[in-house]
Structure 1
């Protein structure tokens, strides 16, 4: 029988801590949330490897290092509301729920959304819900949010998503440009988001988060 508790500890010790992520709430969450429960049964043995996990239909679980460093840069506190876009089966939502007051995951795939809601309940993430709808529209009825994070690559951030971020709120996005990925942290001030580069990472670009094609004559 696989010892997933030991694998979680190894993941934290070899992928998270060496990436300069040492905040107790993040370490505790990643040691506690059963990552193997949030992947398809056929991929449970691969749940703790370094690399993306492919759910199909354009959904991926980000590498442990990438999620941990995103959370580290966002520095979520227990009185904040978080919008988590494209969480697939809900792992990132479950992890963030151990730090935030409330987490709203947005998933457009109804099958994944239903699985995520069940898994969140099983993980005692009572302060997390899954909203079913287009990723690019966020979940305006539950916002605005102190923190937004997107679980996949982006070339642009839709205006509807930015509008749901509170003034002085933070957003983490993995921008992909010419095949290279950089996670940037944005802070909203006066209705505008200022970005800074945080670290390099990679993930395929989510549908509806790609740059619009420009044509010239």
Structure 2
């Protein structure tokens, strides 16, 4: 079965990642070897390389390969960077494969960030808006990639910590499920 997964991994990179303009070669190399199937529940390995968000724990999802590949490329991760992966086991494994020192945050409180001074932060779930605790944990020049979603369609955004403050730019549309604990409050705005 592992050769089937290896073939599925290569196919994922060729048909979902490279066609989405993910051209970073070290990133492509890491995506070709990280076993995405090891991160999904037993018996669901066949979903690991599908063009779909895959639930790996209640309310926690692996992003579609295209979306996580694009987010990672926009982060410009480099060997030696200090990274934080928030509810992002696949992105964490890819970053580790690329030689980054990765801290994983996947508990009940995803706003309690361990440490600070991160060069790269990524989250594999949608949130209404990135919590301040995440952006405050960025080092000078640090980048945060997250999908912000308040309606049916979300926007992948990159935050960058600069000397003069925090920059934010939208980079592509995406529609992953909301991360557990971050549901948008329903009601009227005044």
Which of 126, 130, 139 is the matching residue for 1:153?
A: 126
Q: Does 1:135 align with 2:135?
A: no
What is the SS of the residue equivalent to 2:98?
coil
Paired residues of 1:82 and 1:100 also in contact (CA < 8 A): no
What is the SS of the residue equivalent to 2:74?
helix
> Whole-Å Cα distance in 2 between the matches of residues 73 and 36 of structure 1?
24
Q: Which residue of 1 aligns with 2:106?
A: 107
Cα distance per residue 1:144-172 (max 9 Å; x no partner): 20111111001122222221111221111
Q: Does 1:68 align with 2:41?
A: no
Q: Which residue of 2 aligns with 1:168?
A: 141
Paired residues of 2:72 and 2:91 also in contact (CA < 8 A): no
> Whole-Å Cα distance in 1 between the matches of residues 164 and 184 of structure 2?
21
By how many angstroms is 1:192 displaced? 3.1
What is the SS of the residue equivalent to 1:36?
helix
> Whole-Å Cα distance in 2 between the matches of residues 8 and 69 of structure 1?
16
Paired residues of 2:130 and 2:148 also in contact (CA < 8 A): no
By how many angstroms is 1:191 displaced? 6.6
Q: Does 1:42 align with 2:17?
A: no
Q: Which residue of 2 aligns with 1:16?
A: 17
TM-score (norm: length of structure 2):
0.91
Alpha-carbon RMSD across the aligned residues, in angstroms, is 2.0
Q: Which residue of 2 aligns with 1:3?
A: 4
TM-score (norm: length of structure 1):
0.80
Q: Does 1:77 align with 2:78?
A: yes
Q: Does 1:203 align with 2:176?
A: yes
Q: Which residue of 2 aligns with 1:127?
A: none
Q: Label 1:216 to 1:74 Cα distance change in 2 as closer, same or farther (>3 A).
A: closer
Q: Which residue of 2 aligns with 1:131?
A: none
What is the SS of the residue equivalent to 2:61?
strand
What is the SS of the residue equivalent to 2:43?
helix
Q: Label 1:36 to 1:195 Cα distance change in 2 as closer, same or farther (>3 A).
A: same
Cα distance per residue 1:15-69 (max 9 Å; x no partner): 0000001211111111011111111111011111001101342111100001100
Structure 2, gaps ≥5 residues long:
none
Cα distance per residue 1:147-205 (max 9 Å; x no partner): 11111001122222221111221111101132111101111124732111111111122
What is the SS of the residue equivalent to 1:168?
strand
